[in-house]
Amino acid sequence: QLLEQSPQFLSIQEGENLTVYCNSSSVFSSLQWYRQEPGEGPVLLIALYKAGELTSNGRLTAQFGITRKDSFLNISASIPSDVGIYFCAGQPNAGGTSYGKLTFGQGTILTVHP
């Protein structure tokens, strides 16, 4: 199972909106978005479980595709502290032994200029 994440790099001005995309040929039970700062662990931003689900967390909005093969994460009104690496991670079938064997995208490195 592979997750293609784009773009790889994103450099924007403070206040701008941005969107990160994840696509796969595989179906996932759920999809999670994480943000990671250098030397720190990934921090969960949004978890998506239902096909077509649209979920918001403050300035963050994410949607799980109808086919469960894709997702996007949108951040509105970006601020300098949004910088970091954003990962999408797909989770295989719930309840199976491979439940926590997340497949990560390659990451999107976000820079926000004041």
Instruction: Name the minimum Å distance from CB 102 to another protein.
Output: 6
Which of these ranges, 14-22, 44-52, 56-64, 67-75, lies near another protein under the rule CB under 8 A? 44-52
Q: What CA–CA distance (Å, rounded) separates 10 from 112?
A: 8
Instruction: Name the minimum Å distance from CB 28 to another protein.
Output: 11
Nearest to 114 by CA among 78, 80, 76: 80
Contact between 43 and another protein per CB under 8 A: yes
CB atoms within 10 A of CB 10: 18
- Find the binding residues for another protein in span 68-107 (CB under 8 A): 87, 89, 91, 94-95, 97-102, 104-107
* Whether 70 contacts 79, CB under 8 Å: no
70: Cβ–Cβ under 8 A, 6 or more apart, which residues? 21, 22, 23, 24
Interface residues toward another protein, by CB under 8 A: 29-30, 32, 34, 39-44, 47, 49, 87, 89, 91, 94-95, 97-102, 104-107
